[in-house]
């Protein structure tokens, strides 16, 4: 009979594996923008119970969507040398496990939305529809990056609705920020798979427009995103600390686009993921300081 310590160790290892499967660390993309919307809508923090259920919604929705994406893409991940070492192609995690994770996360998302308010509950199927749709978009449209961006944009919009029970211009602009930002760095990341996508018939902006065209589109998206960050500051009556964060984010975006090298995986991961995680965290911190100080 296994000792309690061995069982506990196996459970921790399995949880860590599931976290790697859904790329849990990538929560630092849309979550900070959801918190920014929450802070502005509340002019601080909402009541603890509401904050708790908003966080449950954000984590459940994001991780359920990522789990489903891994399931849907497993055939192509196995064919692509860049992704062949992922958990599902290697058989580390079974399809049944991933579908159970997705179902549990989706159910938790709807339950948490119900706990927040009825508008969030009624809108939850739309969010789940977007989560599910994105995983299939590369099969039929090169606009897949924008669908991902729109899906992630639901985080700040949903957080605002959770706090206020309604919609306003600020969350719409902040949602546009997230849409352009995520779409842009997803295009950057997708430049690594131009040849593969074309060879297997997958759709993407890099596959359609080539490396140069895709990077130009990504730069335009990020420029528009940065300009809209200024609009958010104006609409939200934010102060100098927020704009310092916006200014530093511009420098980080310039660094991101300056080091792009589709043939160098570490550089691409750093450009597409790490720098953007830093941008979202920086904007969250400077917004929080601006509001709470």
- pLDDT for position 92: 86
What's the rounded Cα separation, in Å, for the pair 193 and 166? Answer: 40
Record the pTM.
0.91
Instruction: Flag whether 241 is in a domain.
Output: yes
What's the rounded Cα separation, in Å, for the pair 112 and 114? Answer: 5
What's the rounded Cα separation, in Å, for the pair 268 and 261? Answer: 6
Average pLDDT, the chain: 91
Instruction: Flag whether 198 is in a domain.
Output: yes
Span 230-242, mean pLDDT? Answer: 97
Handedness of CA 159, 165, 171, 175 (dihedral sign): positive
Confidence of residue 242 (pLDDT cuts 50, 70, 90): very high
Span 150-170, mean pLDDT? Answer: 96
Span 24-43, mean pLDDT? Answer: 84
pLDDT digits (tens, 9 = 90+) for 95-106: 999 999 999 999
Instruction: Flag whether 275 is in a domain.
Output: yes
**Cβ-based burial of 241 (10 A; exposed 0-12, middle 13-18, buried ≥19):** middle
- pLDDT for position 20: 62
Range of the domain at 233: 26-292
What's the rounded Cα separation, in Å, for the pair 157 and 193? Answer: 31
Lowest mean pLDDT of 116-120, 167-171, 276-280, name the range: 276-280
pLDDT digits (tens, 9 = 90+) for 84-131: 988 888 888 889 999 999 999 999 999 999 999 999 999 999 999 999
Q: Work out how many domains the chain is built from and give that number.
A: 1
CATH classification of the domain holding 33 = 1.10.357.140
Lowest mean pLDDT of 16-20, 22-26, 45-49, 164-168, name the range: 22-26
Instruction: Flag whether 18 is in a domain.
Output: no
Instruction: Flag whether 95 is in a domain.
Output: yes
Instruction: Flag whether 19 is in a domain.
Output: no
Confidence of residue 1 (pLDDT cuts 50, 70, 90): very low
Instruction: Flag whether 6 is in a domain.
Output: no
Span 47-76, mean pLDDT? Answer: 94
Instruction: Flag whether 193 is in a domain.
Output: yes
């Amino acid at each position: 009979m296994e000792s309690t310590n061995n069982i506990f160790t196996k459970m921790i290892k399995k949880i860590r594996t599931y976290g790697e499967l859904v790329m849990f660390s990538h929560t630092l993309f849309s979550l900070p923008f959801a918190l920014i919307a929450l802070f502005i809508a509340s002019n601080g923090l909402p009541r603890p119970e509401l904050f708790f259920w908003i966080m449950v919604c954000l984590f459940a929705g994001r991780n359920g969507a990522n789990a489903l994406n891994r399931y849907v893409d497993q055939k192509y991940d196995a064919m692509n040398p860049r992704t062949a070492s992922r958990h599902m192609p290697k058989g580390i995690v079974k399809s049944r496990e991933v579908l159970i994770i997705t179902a549990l996360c989706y159910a938790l998302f709807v339950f948490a939305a119900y706990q927040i308010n009825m508008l969030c509950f009624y809108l939850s199927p739309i969010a789940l529809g977007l989560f599910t749709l994105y995983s299939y978009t590369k099969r039929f449209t090169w606009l897949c990056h924008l669908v991902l961006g729109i899906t992630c944009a639901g985080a700040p919009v949903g957080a605002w609705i959770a706090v206020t029970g309604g919609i306003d211009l600020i969350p719409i602009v902040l949602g546009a920020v997230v849409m352009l930002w995520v779409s842009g760095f997803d295009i950057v990341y997708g430049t690594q798979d131009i040849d593969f996508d074309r060879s297997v018939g997958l759709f993407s902006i890099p596959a359609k427009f080539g490396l140069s065209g895709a990077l130009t589109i990504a730069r335009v998206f990020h420029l528009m995103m940065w300009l809209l960050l200024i609009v958010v500051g104006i609409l939200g009556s934010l102060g100098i600390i927020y704009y310092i964060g916006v200014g530093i984010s511009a420098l980080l975006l310039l660094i991101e686009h300056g080091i792009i090298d589709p043939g160098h995986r570490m550089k691409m991961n750093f450009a597409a993921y790490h720098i953007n995680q830093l941008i979202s965290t920086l904007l969250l911190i400077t917004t929080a300081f601006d509001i709470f100080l």
